[in-house]
Structure 1
Amino acid sequence: MFITRRLLISAIVLLAATFIMFVLVALSGDPLQDLREQSTPQAKAQMAARIEAMRLDMPIPVRYLGWLGDLLLHGDLGVDKAGSSVAAQLGQATAATLQLVVVATLLGAFIGITIGVISALRQYSSFDHGITFTAFVCFSLPVFWVATMLKQYLAIEFNDWLRDPTIPAWVIAAAAVFAGLVWGSVYHGDRRGKLAAFGIGFVVTAVVLFALSASRWFADPGLGFPFVLVVSLAAAAGMAALISGLEHLQPMYAALAAAGVGALLYHPLQPMLDDANLLSILGFAAVTVVICWALGRQIGGLLSRQAVPLAIGSGLLTGGLIIFDRLLQAWGSYAASVRGRPVATIGSQTPNYTGDFWHVSLDTSMHLLLPTLALILIGLAGHSRYSRTSMLEVMNQDYVRTARAKGLPERTVVVKHAFRNGMIPITTILALDFASVFSGAVVTEHVFGWRGLGSMFTKALREVDPMPVMGFFLVSGVAIVVWNMLADIAYAFLDPRIRLS
């Protein structure tokens, strides 16, 4: 009943919004201006054809009803000034924008919320102050400047550096000091412990960077079986300790078993991945979910409700590492095929580029890299600050104090009591962020030459082309309505006190 009522209200709101937008677009300029300035014999015929195709000889309300009828009955969004179908353009632009922005939104939300929660738990620590300063700096940076800096230093100069990928000693030292400071600020303890964390972070970072430089790893990168095994087991143990704790070890055993089995399949999978495609990758993922589900049920026992998700997550993470390693194995040949300039600065793909699945995937990834980083850096600040504020408010509530007074472990207090309620206000922010995905990253698309919804919208406004603007607004409006409704439903899931009625 709730969903039906919300859908009905949302449809009325969307209908009113489309009418207002249609009127505003119709009054914004003259779609025939370019033809009026021509003196060719074909100008009058072209003007008559455009008037008929765009119904410019009808009053605006009648024109709107015609557009709405075509949309509801035939799924037709009309034509633009050139006579091309707006629906076809909208489909291509939406796919390009989703490819650009969805990954950036997901990563930005995940990283921002994680940093915000840690910052709240380490309130007024050096880590908290550092994150606060960084967040305000990122929040104040204009996206076009960030995009330009990324193109200069992570594309142009990085591509030049790949010709001789050795890391200077001063860069290793600076990176090691920075890593040490980060680990020292994250550690929650006395000064001696912070110094120890700083030293460990400094040494590990320096050794790793020196080894990468000496082996010229960036010229022919790869992970290898030992790295996949160690990282997958460590990640599985970390997720199990965070989610299920150390009181009951069956969920951890299930996660470690899933990660171990996946890592042991590293070498047998290599021949199968030579001729991989997207369908086969999805098939491997489905098989992984089934096997990990069985492991979680078998090993988890009475705690299978916790063990199954942990086993599936560990198995998919291990599979992702294997896929990423296989992608890196194609790096050398891909870099050579693009004349040693693998990090792209413009467009969504290399023109007329052909290759196998791994080379095409690398080409797409390298074109996505810079705009994705730009969007993450800009959105990271908001997510981290909102999540920090929400967690601080929740951590001071009486029920959290009561949970601590009962002697519950801090992990249980934070994960099961504070975090779930702290996510309620964040849900609204996430819903708006995901809805804005369909609006297109207008500035980012312009800087990186990405032909998505933002580019389509600005071009239509500049050329006084009403139908593409209405198509853009329709996608954006539907996305906002749908995600707001999903946010309301998520409230009831996060907080049992909230009822949909």
Structure 2
Amino acid sequence: MLKFILRRTGASVLVLFFASVLMFLLTINSGDPLRDLRENPDPRAAAMMRARILSMGLDDPAPVRYWNWLQGVLGCFTGQCDLGTTVNGSNVLALTSQAAGSTLRLVTLATLLAIVVGIGLGILTAIRQYSGFDYSVTFGAFLFFALPVFWAAVLLKEFGAIRYNNWIAEGQYAPLTIVVIAVVVAALLQGILGGSNRRRLITASASFVFVAAIMFVFNAVDWYRNPVFGPVMVLLVAAAAGVLTTALVTGLKNRRVLYAALTTAVVGTVAYLAFAYSGVLTEPTWIVMAGLFVLTIVVSVAVGYLWGDYAKRESMTVTTITGVITSLLVVADQLVGHWASFLGLKSRPISTIGAETPQFSGGFWESMLDKGAQLLLPTLLLALVSIAGHSRYTRASMLEVMSQDYVRTARSKGLSEREVIVKHAFRNALIPITTIVAFDFAGLIGGAVITERVFGWKGMGQLFQQGLEAVDPGPVMAFFLVTGVAAVAMNLLADIAYAFLDPRIRR
């Protein structure tokens, strides 16, 4: 396995080298880097041209310029990284660090969301093949996959930002809107759950009544502007997540694992109350939040180990997942509790330009809400395209695996459908999916160029665009380095994941 990874790494380095040569040559020959100065009537323009020619090495032949750039990149391995300067004299390495942080924050969240939702939808559609739910998801996947990114971004800005900001001033849904939303939810749920016509009717009716009643209550208490979640809801949702995780990993018959999951939810909620009343969560720092997250993992693993008995590994897996979900619910509860104060500081919460509000004066939770609101629309846009692809690949891979002999043998042995799907079909179906997910991450960084331009993000897309417009190879090659290294790193992770998913590959 090690030799295989080393060979793949060597091949990837060669690909990066030849691709970087091509990218460099295309960039320096894409225009005139002195065009703005040639048209400048300023008498100092000639001196400025000479200075730019000297700083960019325009008198040197292309191989020499490329070698100078490559030497700076190789210096990164010795701690002397030098990616050059832009035409304006700015340090490219500093600009890349700032831009990469902004883009990776956007792309990482979109990738995680796409993996969870896309793979989940793919599994459900494979299980419910040719059902109404399957057809609906398939239609939606092809629709979102075919949407032009720039057009979808404009639609999101219009309906997800501008019109939402107008609506939140009152925070009330009209009765007709409530009825329409309830009908849509009822139609979706009855399609997902399926069953006989009688069961579908009961599901649709109950869903319609529940959604409509909840939305009317929310209107009455002004919940959309002053929302409340609370520790009780944290406990209930965390317990439900623990039950669901147990059902997927071991089945509900394993009572010790189920009790471990429920214990984790209870311990997490009690710890939340303790930290909340002690003031730790009033105005925390990111270091404090990271420490609390590590503590959550440690406690969750300990609970799983103590409850696990003969199934310690499965128990610790379930409690860790439950603990992470509980911690996310705690953060969500704090954000919900600070929503009203956030609206007091920013009456139009979702901006259409930028990654955060300049000179925002809120506390820790309000600042997180501000950055989260700015992150919402571009993340949703990138995730929708990836979800469409992931769901289709997952469905196809699951259908192919579920028709194999060993899956039919597993069913004939009397294994439960959960064991057949989770332990036999899904694990083997993950191998081709892993490849798609790995390359999709690097692809999202490249695809974020248009998204960042529409939403005004100062990320890698803006750096790439500015470098191309100025015929400046420094920023363009920095963009290539980030995306290329991301592609290589994700490819290596995919190779390692193959060995974990299929032990035969290790040999």
Q: TM-score with structure 1 length normalisation?
A: 0.96
In the TM superposition, residue 188 of structure 1 has moved relative to its aligned partner by 4.2
Partner of 2:305: 297
Q: Does 1:16 align with 2:18?
A: yes
Moved more, 6-15 or 224-233: 6-15
1:189 deviation in Å? 2.6
- Offset from partner CA, 1:225-277 (integer Å, 9 cap, x none): 22111111111111101111123211111011000111233332212200211
1: CA distance between counterparts of 2:25 and 2:153?
Answer: 35
Aligned-partner SS, 1:219:
coil
5 Å-filtered alignment, 1:52-451, equals 52-73=54-75, 74-270=80-276, 271-338=279-346, 340-439=347-446, 441-451=448-458
Within the candidate set 483, 486, 494, 2:490 is matched to 483
Aligned partner of 2:472: which letter? Answer: D
Deviation of 1:463 (Å): 2.1
CA contact (8 A) 1:78 1:85 kept: yes
Judging changes above 3 Å, is the alpha-carbon distance between structure 1 residues 485 and 319 closer, same or farther for their aligned structure 2 residues?
closer
Structure 1 gap ranges (5+): none
1:265 aligned counterpart, secondary structure: helix
Of residues 415-424 and 463-472 in structure 1, the stretch that sits farther from structure 2 once superposed is 463-472
What do residues 54-74 of structure 1 show as CA deviations (whole Å, max 9, x unaligned)? 111111111111111122123
Counterpart-to-counterpart distance in 2, 1:183 and 1:417:
28
Superposition deviation, residue 319 in structure 1: 1.8
CA contact (8 A) 1:98 1:437 kept: no
CA distance in 1 between partners of 2:270 and 2:26 (Å) = 62
State how far apart, in whole Å, the 2-side matches of 1:70 and 1:237 are.
Answer: 53
**TM-superposed deviation, 1:183:** 1.7
* Structure-2 separation of matches of 1:282 and 1:204: 38
Question: Bigger shift: 418-427 or 241-250?
Answer: 241-250
Question: What is the CA deviation profile of residues 59-107 of structure 1, one whole-angstrom value per residue up to 9, with x for unaligned ones?
Answer: 1111111111122123111111112111111111111111222111210
In the alignment of these two chains, the number of paired residues is 499
| Deviant stretches of 4+, over 6 Å | none
The amino acid of 1:109's aligned partner reads I
Larger deviation: 432-441 or 378-387? 432-441
CA distance in 2, matches of 1:479, 1:315: 30
Distance across 2 between alignment mates of 1:40 and 1:166: 58
Q: Judge conservation of contact 2:243–2:252 (CA < 8 Å) in 1.
A: no
Map Cα deviations across residues 11-35 of structure 1 (whole Å, 9 max, x no partner): 2221111112111212212212222
Could you tell me which residue of structure 1 aligns to residue 473 of structure 2? Answer: 466
Report the AA paired with residue 478 of structure 1.
V
Q: Give the letter for the 1:22 counterpart.
A: F
Q: Give the CA deviation at 1:354.
A: 2.3
Q: Which residue of 1 aligns with 2:27?
A: 25
Asked whether the equivalents of residues 382 and 444 of structure 2 are also in contact (C-alpha less than 8 Å), the reply is no
- What is the rounded CA distance, in whole Å, between the counterparts of 1:133 and 1:197 in structure 2? 23
Distance 2:391 2:331 in 1: 30
Give the secondary-structure state (helix, strand or coil) at the position aligned to 1:41: coil
Structure-2 separation of matches of 1:343 and 1:62: 48
- Structure 2: 5+ residue stretches without partners: none
Q: Is the 8 A contact 1:94 1:438 kept in 2?
A: no
State the alpha-carbon separation in 2 of the partners of residues 291 and 38 from structure 1: 66
| Corresponding letter in the other structure for 1:288 | T
Task: Say whether the 8 Å CA contact 2:283–2:365 is kept in structure 1.
Answer: no
Q: Contact between 1:440 and 1:453, CA under 8 Å: does it hold in 2?
A: no
Distance 1:110 1:357 in 2: 28
Once residues 323 and 70 of structure 1 are traced to their aligned partners in structure 2, the CA distance between those partners, rounded to angstroms, is 42
Tell me the SS of whatever aligns to 1:218.
coil
Kept in 1, the 8 Å contact 2:398–2:426? The answer is yes
Write the letter of the residue equivalent to 1:417. H
**Residue in 1 that maps onto 2:461:** 454
